[in-house]
Amino acid sequence: MFVSIVGFNSIGLSQSTFKIKETKDVNMKLLGTSTLHNWEMEATSVEGEAQFVFKPGSESELTSVTSLSVALEVKNLKSDSKGLDKNAYKALKSNEFKDIHYKLISATVTPEKKNEYLLKTTGQLTIAGVTKEIEMDVHCVVNTNGSITCTGSNKLNMTDYNVEPPSFMFGAMKTGDTITLEFNVVYKI
């Protein structure tokens, strides 16, 4: 799996590279609807890196994010139904486009509380070989152990990425076009 990182150095600021290091540091889900019931797929593994910049002399006062990327292998999305998984992989064209990628373009950091920040982000999301620019609010907490927890959610339409919403049982069950991505990931040095 390939994850690309783009960054720059800020004079006088402390910049560090953080990574998603362990499976337990990831809670990422796709949530959707169908004609029969709601469904959920959970990511079993995600890779990512970020460049977080802190105020000089501070290890917790976040001032900017110069890069952030996430890559998720489509076949690492799992539900409680092998049939749903199989149809989702086919709809996401996983044989041709193995990964879903996100790459940050820009982020504005606003302090919310002590060690808690709101990131107003713009980034490029690539699904099934189609790249779209998306805006997303991400809440970040600089933890006492130096790690950074990022949480958020974003609604997407599968058809925006040329993905036909999957159907099951010979078309008797159809999924809705809109899905919600929810995530809680921990970046560590």
Q: Give CA–CA dist 119/161, Å, rounded.
A: 25
Residue 123: count of CB within 10 angstroms of its CB: 21
List Cα–Cα distances, 16 to 21, 143, 145, in angstroms. 15, 15, 14
Q: Please tell me the predicted confidence (pLDDT) of residue 4.
A: 34
pLDDT digits (tens, 9 = 90+) for 40-49: 999 989 999 9
pLDDT digits (tens, 9 = 90+) for 40-95: 999 989 999 999 999 999 999 999 999 999 999 999 999 998 988 999 999 999 99
- Domain membership of residue 174 (yes or no) is yes
Q: Please tell me the predicted confidence (pLDDT) of residue 6.
A: 37
Could you give the number of structural domains in the chain?
A: 1
Burial class (CB within 10 angstroms; exposed 0-12, middle 13-18, buried 19+) of 25: middle
Return the structure tokens found at 167: 């159907």
- Domain membership of residue 2 (yes or no) is no
- Domain membership of residue 49 (yes or no) is yes
Largest pairwise CA distance in the chain: 61
- Domain membership of residue 162 (yes or no) is yes
Q: Which residues of the chain have pLDDT under 70?
A: 1-13, 169-170
Q: Give the CATH number, domain containing residue 58.
A: 2.40.128.110
Host domain of residue 174 = 15-187
- Domain membership of residue 115 (yes or no) is yes
